[in-house]
Structure formats: structure tokens, C-alpha cells
Structure 1
């Protein structure tokens, strides 16, 4: 009975997630016109908004406009990455990365939704893996990884966020969804999707540039 009652709200989460992708796409297009000097401030704003979102999670006060503003800014800051790999390996690599991301996201989402066991026990392990990715990402700014190292890092990142997709869908199934949780859950799915996309793009970009 609970699953039937929560189904419309679950569909609403997916709807908000789909709209967030549209805002991110608009941001990606806008990124073409943003001066490079503004990218760093926008990235800082994006990080602050992510921290704020998870702080506000306890109060369940993340709103729809917050989600759409964040995803728009995220699209802008993603543009330099997309443009770089498009120039290095070709525009078709970007399309392949998006298609692969969409396919993996859909499959992992279904796995998470149909798994009868509550996968909440994965929370700590995924958080540790995420923090490790962040640490390595920051470290690579000061000491760039080799091509092989970057490829391995991207594969691990893709695996971690694929598991996050499974985890998030599973938790929505087992712990229910209230109306006030919709924006935050949609934002979580967006973060899963965009990070998975970036890691897959890096994998395909590195492999494509080596051909």
C-alpha cells in the first residue's frame, strides 16, 4: 500500500529531475558565452550551494528554484570539461558519453528500485569512496595525474556514482517519499547523473584521444 501511495510522488521526483537536466542543458549552452575568469567564482558558488543543500536537508527546506538555479550553474561550469573533450576526441564522444550515462543511469535506477533488500548499509562505504574521489581530485590540481592514472580515477568515479544511483533509488523505495523531499531527492539524482556523465566523458575522451 505504501508503494502505491508513494508512486505519484516518486514520479514527481523523476519529473523534477528531468526538468533539472533541461536547466543544466541551458546552462551548458550559456557556458559558451561566459568569460573564463568567471568560471572559478561560479564553481565556488556551486560548491557552496551543494554544502547548503545538504545542510538544509535536515530542515527539508530545499526548494525547486534552488534546484533549478543550481543545475543551471552546474551546466555552465560543466561546459569547459565538455568543450575540452569535444576538441580532443570529437563531438561524437560527448554524445556517446551522454547516451552511455543515460543508459547506465536507467539500468542502475531500475536495479535499485526492484531490489528488495534495503541497501542503506552502503551509505558509509559510498561516502568514504566519494571523499576519496574528492581528495584525489583536489590533489590532481597540484600534481596532475598521468593519462593512465586519470583513466583509473575516472573508472572508479563512474563505478561509485553508478552505485549511488542504485543506492538513491533503493532508499526512495524503502524509506518513502514526502512532498517536501521531492526537490532534494531530484537534486541527489541530478548529482549522480552529472558526475557519472563527467567520469564517463573523461574515460571516452582519454581513450578517444589515444587512438
Structure 2
């Protein structure tokens, strides 16, 4: 009975959340490979729309006190992987495959270092919450504006720097909130948050490097 209690408790621990997050990254990688092989470019926007709809659905469920499941988590990360393929290819063409791989490695190191610091720290980083939320809304607005207004290297450099700082802050904040564990039914949402932090940090690092490359070309 004691062993069963410990096993059930571990299902909501930070270690379990990070394992589910790691599996989410693997599912996303598989989605990227499937997107590269089987999904025509014309269908990618449909996956992006599905990704956005699922994010809104997760937010609404959370606001209503309900929980997403593991099926939702892995479906979302698979769809996200498909949607990421053309983005990765774009940056691969701009920066080269080696730089993109290096950016992924840098993201892993930064993410891991921040997670370790947040876990070891006694701070809850709750003071970051309002700033991070407002900053994320600002990044979303910038993304919408960028659809209609071309952004030069200087603007992209500032934009990407802010994105890196904001999602680095989210890593600190979320790990601190999950440090003492969560209820088992909240694990999928916690893993989804960690996944979004990692992927957005990776994308803003790529944007930062592309902005520097564009600046040097100018």
C-alpha cells in the first residue's frame, strides 16, 4: 500500500511533469518528420489553425476548472510539430542546418539551467507573473502586426530579445510553481506549459540569430 501511495504521488511531481514534457518534445519531433514527408505545404495552415483552436480550448477548460488529458497533450504536440516544419525549414534556409541545430542545443542548455535554478531557488517568482502575462500579450500583438507590416533586422532583434527574456521568465515561473508537485490530473496542462515555453524560447532564439544575420547582410 505504501508503494502504491508513493507511485501515485510521483504522478504529480515535478519529475513526472518533466518526463511528460520530454515525451511531448519527442511526439512533436515525430510530428515534424511526418509533416515533412506526408503533409503538403498547402495543408500546413490548417494545422496552425487547429493548434490555435486547441490552445484556446485548453485556456477555456482551465478557466472553467476542468482539465485536459494526455490525449489532448500529445495530439497538440503532434499537430504543433507538423506546423513547425516549414518554420524550421525557413530558418534552415536563412541560417543553415548547423546553426538551427546549435540553436536547439542552446535552447536545451538555457531551459535546463533555468529549470535547475528555479528548482533549487526558494523563490516562487510570483512577482514575474503580471509582467510575463503582459509581455506575452505584447508578443502576440507584435506577431499580428508583423503579418501586415514588414519588420526590419533592428525591430526583429529587439522583438526576439524580448521574446527570449519573457519565455526564460516563464520557465523560472512555471518550474517554481510546479516545484512541490501538482494534482495528477493537472500534469498534462503543466507539461503543455513547459512544452510551449521550450518551443517559443527556441523560436525566438532562431529569430534573434536571423535578425543578426540580416543586420550583417545589410
Name 2:28's counterpart in structure 1: 24
Q: In the TM superposition, what is the alpha-carbon distance from 1:118 to its structure 2 partner?
A: 2.0
Aligned-partner Cα distance in 2 for 1:136–1:207:
19
TM-score normalized by structure 2? Answer: 0.89
Q: Deviations over 1:9-52 (max 9, x none)?
A: 22111111011001110111122232222111211110111111
1:135 pairs with 2:135:
no
Q: In the TM superposition, what is the alpha-carbon distance from 1:165 to its structure 2 partner?
A: 0.2
Kept in 2: contact 1:85–1:205 (CA 8 A): yes
After the TM superposition, list the runs of 4 or more consecutive aligned residues in structure 1 that deviate by more than 6 angstroms: none
Larger Rg: 2
Q: In the TM superposition, what is the alpha-carbon distance from 1:78 to its structure 2 partner?
A: 1.0
Structure 2 residue runs without a partner (length 5+) = 1-7
Alignment of 1:1-211 (within 5 A): 9-33=13-37, 34-58=39-63, 59-173=65-179, 176-208=181-213, 210=216
Aligned-partner Cα distance in 1 for 2:66–2:172:
22
Q: In the TM superposition, what is the alpha-carbon distance from 1:68 to its structure 2 partner?
A: 0.5
Q: In the TM superposition, what is the alpha-carbon distance from 1:207 to its structure 2 partner?
A: 2.6
Kept in 2: contact 1:60–1:180 (CA 8 A): no
Kept in 1: contact 2:92–2:100 (CA 8 A): yes
Structure 1 residue runs without a partner (length 5+) = none
Aligned-partner Cα distance in 2 for 1:7–1:124:
30
TM-score normalized by structure 1? Answer: 0.92
Q: How many residues align?
A: 206
Kept in 2: contact 1:23–1:71 (CA 8 A): yes
Kept in 1: contact 2:100–2:206 (CA 8 A): yes
